[in-house]
Amino acid sequence: MDTTTPVLYLSHGAPPLADDERWTGELATWSTDLPKPSSILVVSAHWEQAPISVSSTTAGTPLLYDFWGFPQKYYEVTYDAPPAPELAQSVARHLGDVGGGLHQDPSRGLDHGAYVPLVEMFPEADVPVIQLSMPTLDPQELFEIGTRLAPLRDEGTLIIGSGFTTHNLRWFNPRAGADSAPPSASAEFDHWAAEAVDAGDVDAILDFMDKAPAAQEAHPRTEHWAPLFVSLGAAHAGGGIDAQSVIDGFWFGLSKRSWQFA
């Protein structure tokens, strides 16, 4: 039986995701179908830092509430997952010669790209978690980082790329409602992404700015699509892409499509 831990790419949502019963239910159901990981490594759209770095491995490091203008309750969320120093050491072994070696940011807690979905998927907060920064947004470089991280899967580590399948905040209209019809650009990019990932067309995905319809509109800046490249690298290291689209649909016009890679 194959015991290799899956790889995920998920659309993580803003803090109000916690109020969306459909989406939180989808995330909770997804996690029940996953093998219990020994640790979790998250690559979030909200941490770009070079040299490549890992977050704190010290218990009690506060969450990073990296958002503004929300009701107070969103700043009171806690997620006291155990630190993952052993995972940090494993990551360092695999990435030791990337960009001058792996650095550690002892003050960096989990940002909302990590803890917002983890609160729903692993609410007991009993799995050690660290984050890994993106030192670049270059697709090929991030894919190669994912390839180097692939052996962590055999150690029981769940690698999660956390972004958003489409991310243009100009589309966000609270008065229209979470279930309002998406803009055509969002729907077109989502449809293309579903077909490209299902086909395992890594070359097209890495070259999405030239290959995907409405790419510039769907991602005016590419940081929310970039974590997928790390996930693809970790998944593709075994020789191909075996993908399942676990969550689809739209949230305030943004595609929340999320994949699991065997």
Q: What type of residue is 173?
A: N
CB 147 within 8 A of CB 236: yes
Residue 85 CA, distance from chain mean position: 21
Q: What is the identity of the amino acid at 126?
A: D
Between the CA of residue 3 and those of 96, 147, 154, 156, what are the distances in Å?
26, 18, 7, 8
Question: pLDDT at residue 1 above 90?
Answer: no
Confidence of residue 62 (pLDDT cuts 50, 70, 90): very high
DSSP 163: E
CA dihedral sign of residues 231, 205, 250, 216: positive
pLDDT at residue number 15:
87
Cα–Cα distances in angstroms (integers) from residue 88 to residues 10, 53, 68, 152, 153, in the given order: 22, 10, 30, 11, 14
Q: What is the pLDDT of residues 21-32, one digit of tens each?
A: 999 999 999 999
Reduced to 3 states (helix: H, G, I; strand: E, B; else coil), residue 216 is helix
pTM value > 0.85:
yes
Q: Which residues pair with 53 in a beta bridge?
A: 103
Residues 7-183+222-261: name the CATH superfamily. LigB-like (3.40.830.10)
Q: Give dist(CA 27, CA 109) in Å, integer.
A: 22
Domain residue ranges of the chain, discontinuous segments joined by +: 7-183+222-261
pLDDT tens by residue, 85-142: 999 999 999 997 776 778 999 999 999 999 999 999 999 999 999 999 999 999 999 9
